[in-house]
Amino acid sequence: MVNSTLSYFLLSTYIHVGYLRYLCFMITAMLYIVIVVANTSLIVVICVNRSLHEPMYLFLCSLFVNELYGSTGLFPSLLVQILSDIHTVFAPLCFLQIFCLFTYVNIQFCNLAVMSYDRYLAICYPLQYNTRMTSNKAVIFIILIWLYSFVKVLITLSLNIRLTLCGNIINSLYCNNYLVVKLACSDTQVNNFYGYFGTVLTIFVPLFPILFSYMRILRVCFSGSKQTRQKALSTCTPHLVSLLNFSFGCGFEMFQSRFDKSGVPSVLRIVLSLYFLIIQPLMNPVMYGLQMSKLRNICKHMLRYKLLAGGRNNKSVSE
């Protein structure tokens, strides 16, 4: 139950830009449309093509679904706030946004950790890969990742909702868990402890399988053939870029919410606070779609088929 003394929060980071807000709204709406179209297209391609029902592509499908989920947790609220004169959000919707964005981050790191382990098996144990990592095992991994993330964030949310809040101004563009806890005038020791514990679970625990996997992959690459190195490079590059990019974005958001950032220009703060929620969902479908040759070739084939089918239909209509 949301604190009965508080019905809404005020988001204080929005800048008054006059009529430019309509341009900002159009740009933001276009970004959201591109994210939805790009990620949905790849999800459909993976689902309808049986040749892509392999562990690596199932993990990618989970990644793209998570990009849609995280974007939907941010963009509708962002679009409403851009056009609003008073940037308020109802408390239940604020807690819902915290839940969506926190689960998005948790699923992303866990998904990337499992993907690194999958690449480790594929490169270091190619002959045993099909028995060690089956499609059924991949589905079980994905279900566990999503369930674990939902339960973990629900605990965080239940600890927050019980707090007595003595303010309602959040210095952010969207609802942020840490900034909500800072508004509390009741004891937050349990929240702080679980917050640190949750951060370790979200970031540092997935980091161990990632480091382990890439240390083994690098060892195989240096001692293996040129073909092995090329295979490792083609499959691991998008994963590493995605991991580093997302880690940078999350790291900055954690830093700016906890430390004084008055020396950073407000526009730069706004851009960087949205970085991991906008760039990642845009970059992943483009990068994986272009880099993964099998996925790229199927996308090309489907696009060519649709263009040819459209051309034939237009020709029959004109005749």
* Closest CA relative to residue 88, chosen from 7, 161, 28: 7
Answer whether residue 4 shows pLDDT above 50. Answer: no
The most confident of the ranges 27-41, 47-61, 74-88, 211-225 is 27-41
Rounded Cα distance, 319 and 112, in Å: 52
CATH number at residue 65: 1.20.1070.10
Residue 188 lies in a domain: yes
Q: Does residue 251 fall inside a structural domain?
A: yes
Residue 311 belongs to a domain? no
Q: Comparing C-alpha atoms, which of 137, 135, 108, 122 is closest to residue 213?
A: 122
Q: pLDDT tens digits for 55-101?
A: 999 999 999 999 999 999 999 999 999 988 888 899 889 999 999 99
pLDDT at 310: 56
d(CA 104, CA 111) in angstroms, rounded, equals 10
Nearest to 114 by CA among 213, 244, 246: 213
Express each pLDDT in 244-295 by its tens digit. 888 888 887 877 767 666 666 777 778 888 888 899 999 998 888 777 767 7
Residue 315 belongs to a domain = no
pLDDT digits (tens, 9 = 90+) for 166-191: 888 888 889 988 888 888 888 888 88
| Cβ atoms of 171 and 179 closer than 8 Å | yes
- Per the structure, the complete domain to which residue 176 belongs is given by 8-293
In a domain, 199, yes or no: yes
Domain count, the chain: 1
Residue 272 lies in a domain: yes
pLDDT at res. 318? 53
Tell me if residue 87 falls in helix, strand or coil. coil
Q: Is the pLDDT of residue 297 over 80?
A: no
Mean pLDDT, range 217-226, rounded to an integer: 74
Q: What is the pLDDT of residue 137?
A: 93
- Do the domain assignments include residue 174? yes
Tokens 């007595």 correspond to 164
